[in-house]
């Protein structure tokens, strides 16, 4: 299955994008919904919170009094750690259950407000950021959600910055316009990138690659390479001695074809073959000798070539010692 991480600042319109993707057939795993579910009345999570913080965090109907909990849980680092120690494992367990229940050919959209803040981007096949200017988001929060302006500003300030979210974005959806303008862009994303990406990932087939002419240097290549390298590092762990952006796109200001060249140097005692399945599982299957991609890359002795299954980001991955 294909795992998409979806996030954006408060008021950016993330829920709208999630709704459209769900209507197109995505399986939505909503972190906010799960966080409420694991502390619902009668749950083990709510009982654990009451035992840790006292029964006065419960409302008259037995549900969680969130302001009362917040007053206690955020009073100190120790209390916050206690809260996280109770809720995070429960959220993680329920998230894993929902993902495991999705079909093998599914596109799972994980709606995670704090995806960037919690460093979860490398665990996704693709990260989609819904972007809107801070003042636009502020206006929406005040006008449509009825949030006090000072409170809205404080909440926005507590989240990742726009620059931090954009650095994590494989796809940046501009939602500064009027309601409904983003819809067509989301449908294109589904049809032109997510559907073929899922198919390629499932069948372990490198994405079809049109002939790419040499183009002017793109400063985004470096950020794109960093995101690819972060995913590879998660998959390879200690079996990779180094993972480096190489080739023409790694040279500042140099015109090049729009293909990222990444090299994994395996650790001592590890072979390139040992990483074959792990790389294929995250979307970098080996390239067959008769694939046109193989003609683009000159390999050294003992090196193996893999390529990305994402039709929106061409990557040549060279694995060797």
Known binding-site residues for ATP equal 11-16
Beta strand pairing status for 240-246 and 260-266?
Answer: antiparallel
Backbone phi, then psi, for 316, in 5-degree steps? -100, 120
Residues at the binding site are 11-16
Q: Tokens 């079996």 — which residue?
A: 239
Tokens for 269, please give them: 């005692």
Backbone phi, then psi, for 309, in 5-degree steps? -90, -5
Question: What 3-state DSSP class applies to 74?
Answer: coil
User: Given phi > 0 = left and psi -120 to 50 = alpha, else beta, which region is 177?
Assistant: beta
- How big is the chain, counted in residues? 321
Instruction: Give 218's contacts (C-beta < 8 A, 6+ positions apart).
Output: 249, 258
Question: What 3-state DSSP class applies to 27?
Answer: strand
């Amino acid at each position: 299955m294909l795992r998409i991480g979806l996030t954006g600042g408060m008021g950016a319109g993330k829920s709208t994008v999630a709704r459209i993707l769900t209507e197109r057939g995505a399986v939505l795993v909503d972190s906010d919904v799960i966080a409420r579910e694991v502390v619902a009345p009668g749950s083990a999570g709510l009982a654990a919170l009451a035992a840790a913080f006292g029964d006065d965090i419960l409302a008259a109907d037995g549900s969680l009094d969130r302001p009362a909990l917040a007053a206690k849980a955020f009073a100190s680092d120790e209390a916050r750690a206690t809260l996280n120690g109770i809720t995070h494992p429960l959220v993680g367990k329920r998230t894993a259950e929902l993902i495991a229940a999705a079909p093998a050919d599914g596109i799972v959209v994980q709606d995670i407000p704090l995806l960037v803040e919690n460093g979860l981007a490398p665990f996704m096949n693709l990260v989609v950021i819904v972007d809107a200017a801070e003042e636009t988001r502020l206006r929406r929060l005040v006008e449509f959600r009825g949030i006090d302006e000072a409170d809205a500003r404080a909440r926005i300030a507590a989240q990742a910055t726009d620059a931090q979210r954009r650095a994590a974005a494989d796809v940046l959806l501009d939602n500064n316009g009027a309601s409904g303008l983003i819809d067509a862009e989301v449908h294109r994303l589904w049809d032109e990138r997510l559907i073929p990406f899922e198919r390629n990932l499932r069948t372990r087939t490198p994405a079809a690659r049109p002939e790419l002419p040499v183009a002017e240097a793109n400063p985004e290549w470096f950020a794109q390479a960093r995101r690819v390298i972060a995913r590879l590092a998660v998959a390879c762990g200690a079996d990779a001695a180094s993972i480096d952006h190489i080739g023409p796109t790694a040279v500042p200001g140099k015109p090049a074809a729009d293909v990222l060249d990444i090299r994994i140097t395996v650790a001592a005692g590890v072979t390139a073959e040992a990483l074959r399945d792990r790389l294929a599982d995250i979307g970098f299957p080996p390239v067959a000798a008769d694939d046109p991609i193989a003609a683009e890359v000159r390999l050294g002795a003992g090196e193996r070539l893999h390529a990305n299954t994402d039709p929106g980001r061409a990557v040549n991955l060279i694995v060797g010692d």
